[in-house]
Amino acid sequence: MTTAAHSTTDSVLTTRDLGPAPEKAVAKDLVRRGLLVLPIALALGFVGWGLDGVASVAFAYALVLVNFLLAAALLSWAARISYGLVMGVSLFGFLIRIGLITAAVLLVRDMSWVAPLPLGLTLIITHLGLLFWETRYVSASLAFPGLKPASEE
């Protein structure tokens, strides 16, 4: 259970979370599910665009999985400091991570192994697909923050 260290004089800006970090468990579960589907995505990339498609799908997949892990790490770190920082990290962390993904794509876009369509499709479909898939396994209960207990899956 998450425990917050606060007193009656603390505000949401100074209250912090000293409990376990459910963000990391959810991100690891997202990565695990993503790796389950990766062979199918790589095969589709190969069928449609050959080895360039495989390389583009693999690059996009790596960006997506690192994005989820980085988001979890940043939110877990911020929660230990203050809930106010969590709010800032949520918004600005998202913008920075999207900027990093954009920069990574712009850096490789002119390389010979890049196939733009599978790269873009993989970025979009993998982000959304994994998030929608994970909603089935995330607990909306304060009793079990993070992932649902195994018996509820």
Task: From residue 73, give the alpha-carbon distance in Å to each of 16, 70, 79, 104.
Answer: 16, 5, 10, 20
Position 136 scores a pLDDT of 79
Across 72-89, b (16+ Cβ under 10 Å) vs e yields bebbbebbeebbebbeeb
Sequence spans of domains, the chain:
21-152
In tens digits, what is the pLDDT along the chain, a chain of 153 residues? 445 554 445 565 666 666 667 888 888 889 999 999 999 999 999 999 999 999 999 999 999 999 999 999 998 888 888 888 888 999 999 999 999 999 999 999 999 999 999 999 999 999 999 988 887 777 665 545 565 556 554
Whether the predicted model's global pTM rises above the 0.75 cut: yes
In whole angstroms, what is the distance from residue 150 CA to residue 153 CA?
5
In the beta sheet, which residues pair with residue 4? 17
Other Cβ atoms closer than 10 A to 1: 8
